[in-house]
Amino acid sequence: MKKPMRILSGIQPSGILHIGNYFGMMRPAIALQDEGEALYFIADYHALTSLRDPIALRENSRRVALDFLACGLNPDKAALFLQSDVPQVTELAWILSTVTPVSRLELAHSYKDKVARGAAAAAGLFTYPVLMAADILIYDSDIVPVGKDQKQHIEITRDIAARINETFGSARKGPILKLPEPRIQKQTEVVPGIDGQKMSKSYGNTIDIFGDEKETRKRVMSIVTDSTLVEAPKNPDASTIMQLYGLVASKDEVQEMREQFRKGGRGYGDFKKQLFEKLWDYFAPMRKRRDEILRDKNYIDDVLERGARRANAIAHEVMKRVRAAVGL
Ligand code: ADP
Ligand code: TRP
């Protein structure tokens, strides 16, 4: 029998989840839970590269778990766990680092961007992609659903796996590590924020998935637009409002708004109100589910514990193979 495809992804608990995270990573990951064996984790080791508040880290991690479950992650199908509940990833990261060229890490955009924006050039930030490679390789992952900004990290992962296979593999025993494929959804690869740049918690331009109504409305109403007058025709292709509306409205509704843009006679404020209503309705069932989960005190801990058990069982097998191959 063919082995089911293994799907893996992670998200850092470094802040509050926004709709860029949802459409770029969470929704595709949730859809994939029906297509294979899915493993999703909360990257708390990675978050330590930017968050140095233990209480906030613990709270954010639980909150990400809650939000992921509220958005439709089904723990009977997909394992959800904390990265740090599988400490063997740090062992694998060490082994991987021994074959990773420094020059390869020096080319990573995310390190350069973060340091350019003022982050301290810590070794952990520099070797972030090696730990991420370990996260992926320790589960023999086939597919990694992520947003476009993570593509380079998956390329580095493939490169490191190939190096391990070349260095320690043999024709007789076959490869040691499996090379994963990124799964990046074209339509949602970069969700724009309220300023039109990529939505990101580090740019302060987010619309949160579970923000309160007043705040969410305020965020939507502050989407940056040009100064075209109410009566004048507007370009739907250059509009953040249209792009976000396209994520939550039906095809016909999108078509209709596009026509209204072209015709003129309606102001941006009006379009933003319409976007807000759609967005608010889109996430209504998830808000309801979230309230239900919150009523069951042990639910999140139970899910994370079950997920960690599953993840550890796989990681244990792969590490046995790696340790044997490298001589430990
Ligand atoms: P942030 O940029 O807000 O810090 P993360 O780096 O924690 O977000 O991203 C978590 C996941 O969400 C990743 O898979 C990432 O590719 C995806 N993602 C984040 N922002 C966006 C966006 N604006 N559009 C599409 N995907 C995104
Ligand atoms: N670097 C990812 C991000 O910032 C999070 C992450 C850590 C991840 N390890 C992973 C994503 C492994 C996919 C697979 O979004």
Catalytic residue, chosen from 201, 234, 272, 278, is 201
The answer to whether the CB of 9 is under 6 A from ligand 2 is: yes
Separation of CA 24 and ligand 1 centre (Å): 7
Task: Report whether 186 contacts 145 (CB < 8 A).
Answer: no
Burial class (CB in 10 A: 0-12, 13-18, 19+), 296: exposed
Task: Report whether 198 contacts 20 (CB < 8 A).
Answer: yes
CB count within 10 Å of CB 102 equals: 9
Residues in the chain, total: 328
Separation of CA 199 and ligand 1 centre (Å): 8
Task: Report whether 61 contacts 13 (CB < 8 A).
Answer: yes
Domains and CATH numbers, the chain: 6-191+296-326 (3.40.50.620), 211-282 (1.10.240.10)
**What pLDDT does 84 receive?**
98
Specify whether 234 is catalytic. Answer: no
- Residue 46 CA, closest ligand 2 atom number: 7
Catalytic residue, chosen from 77, 114, 214, 234, is 114
Residues of the chain with pLDDT under 50: none
Tokens of 260: 């209204």
**What pLDDT does 173 receive?**
80
- The H or E element spanning position 143 is strand 143-145
**What pLDDT does 171 receive?**
80
**What pLDDT does 187 receive?**
84
Specify whether 288 is catalytic. Answer: no
Beta pairing partners, 170: 174
- Which residues, including other chains, have CB under 8 Å from residue 298's CB and lie 6 or more apart? none
Task: Report whether 144 contacts 154 (CB < 8 A).
Answer: yes
Catalytic residue, chosen from 2, 186, 198, 263, is 198
Specify whether 278 is catalytic. Answer: no
**What pLDDT does 32 receive?**
97
CA–CA distance, 167 with 183 (Å, rounded to integer): 27
